[in-house]
Amino acid sequence: MSDKAMITLSNGVKMPQIGLGTWLSKPNEVKNAVTHALKSGYRHIDCAKVYGNQGEVADGIEASGVKREDIFITSKLWNTWHHPSKVAEGLEDTLKELKTTYLDLVSFLYIPTISSAKMLIVLLYPSSTRDHQYLIHFPVSFAYPESSTASGSDILTPLAEDGVHVKLDLQTSIVDTWKEMIKLLDSGKVKAIGVSNFEIEHLEAIIKATGVTPSANQIERHPLCLQTELVSYCNSKNIHVTAYSPLGNNLAGELKIVDYPEVKETAAKISKETGETVDPAQVLIAWGAVGGISVIPKSVTPSRIDSNFKQVKLSDEDFNKITALGKNKTARYNVPVTYEPKWNVNVFNTEAEKSCAHGVILGI
């Protein structure tokens, strides 16, 4: 593994704290990004079935020349494979795309569009001396198409009869899916299991029903989405937190978090103190990693991939200054009901979701 900071999960597996995200990366860009990242020292790659680029991730790993046993890969089980009869099939499909025989960490993942969807799986390439872990990506189940010829978006985001919403599977609960995830431990293809985009009530439901606590929870987290209560709860249960979208989202008409005066001022201050150039993105990544949280910034640009991996230390004053941004304004960018096709389910209890017809099916 790289000499960068490592996180030890509850089952003893070690995971690099900084990883390369691949969500929203354009086709034919991921292979080169993964290859460059690994040659630059990254040893943690985050991917997912719904991103549509796991084959490129595998090709990038092969082209890098880095030993597979030294690479920690995160991937996700998509919502269409939540039914108990489909969980193992979803894992096999991901293993095939990633050209490996087992995963290290897997979680339920939710993502509002094909490009944003996630059920978290963390994968470590084969090694006889390492443990392996598997998680659940998102607390929402989609209806698997009845047609045997269905493919592509027909499977990933099956449409309801209204043509506007995703067709949900309202019979399968997160407890149902979690129980199947637990069974995968006996297969030898995973050694630990976890989740993604789970709120406290979702975590409590699966823990209460099964007695098995997830190893990790991957969530949206940045200075405008502090998730203080959820992070505290996860810490109390020894559930590792991974932050996706650590820089926020680049939505048109909104000031990017990297362009906030407080973030720019902090970058300039640290640059002056250290004599090394520090940019706003590095400040946000450093902020996100405080407290042992892992961070998975996305980029396909070689120079940005390199700079995101640079270790920057924040003083308590710096950290508090950035944290204060979220106390004055909050913004969650990944809300499923706002995506196309829309998810008619309230996952995070945001204002936009309060009109949804359904909630998460807990199963307790």
Q: What pLDDT is stored for residue 112 in this prediction?
A: 42
Is the full-model pTM beyond 0.75? yes
User: How far is 194 from 107, CA to CA, in rounded Å?
Assistant: 4
Q: What pLDDT is stored for residue 348 in this prediction?
A: 97
Three-class secondary structure of residue 16 per DSSP: strand
Angle ∠(347,210,188) on CA atoms, nearest 5: 100
User: How far is 355 from 339, CA to CA, in rounded Å?
Assistant: 15
Angle ∠(78,84,86) on CA atoms, nearest 5: 50
User: How far is 169 from 353, CA to CA, in rounded Å?
Assistant: 18
Q: What pLDDT is stored for residue 72 in this prediction?
A: 87
Q: What pLDDT is stored for residue 242 in this prediction?
A: 95
Output the six-digit token pair for 121.
């799986």
Question: Residue written as tokens 């106390």?
Answer: 327
**Which residue type, as a one-letter code, is found at position 78?**
W
Output the six-digit token pair for 309.
């991996």
- The 10 Å Cβ neighbour count of residue 88 is 16
Instruction: Note if 260 is an active site residue.
Output: no
Q: Could you read off the pLDDT tens digit of each residue along the chain, which spans 364 residues? A: 344 799 998 888 888 999 999 988 888 999 999 999 999 999 999 988 989 999 999 999 999 999 988 888 888 889 999 999 999 999 899 889 999 876 656 555 554 443 333 444 444 444 332 335 567 889 999 999 988 888 999 999 999 999 999 999 999 999 999 999 999 887 878 767 889 999 999 999 999 999 999 999 999 999 999 999 999 999 999 999 999 999 997 776 789 999 999 999 999 999 999 999 999 999 999 999 999 999 999 999 999 999 999 999 999 999 999 999 999 899 999 999 998 999 999 999 999 999 999 999 999 8
Output the six-digit token pair for 279.
């940019």
Q: What pLDDT is stored for residue 115 in this prediction?
A: 36
Question: Residue written as tokens 């304004």?
Answer: 329
Output the six-digit token pair for 83.
């039914």
What DSSP state is assigned to residue 136? E
Catalytic pick from 42, 51, 102, 144?
Answer: 51
Q: What pLDDT is stored for residue 133 in this prediction?
A: 54
pLDDT tens digits, one per residue of 191-239: 678 899 999 999 999 999 999 999 999 999 999 999 999 999 999 999 9
Q: What pLDDT is stored for residue 73 in this prediction?
A: 83
User: How far is 271 from 310, CA to CA, in rounded Å?
Assistant: 13
Contact (Cβ atoms closer than 8 angstroms) between residue 285 and residue 317: no
Domains parsed from the chain with CATH numbers: 6-359 (3.20.20.100)
Question: Residue written as tokens 């499977």?
Answer: 155
- 192-201 burial code (b ≥16 CB/10 A, e <16): bbbbbbbbee
User: How far is 75 from 91, CA to CA, in rounded Å?
Assistant: 10
Q: What pLDDT is stored for residue 252 in this prediction?
A: 63
Query: Strand 121-124 vs strand 72-75: parallel, antiparallel, or unpaired?
Result: antiparallel
Q: How far is CA 10 from the centre of its chain?
A: 18
Angle separating helix axes 200-210 and 228-236, nearest 10 degrees = 20
Known binder of ligand: residue 82?
A: no
Q: What pLDDT is stored for residue 117 in this prediction?
A: 37
Q: What pLDDT is stored for residue 178 in this prediction?
A: 96
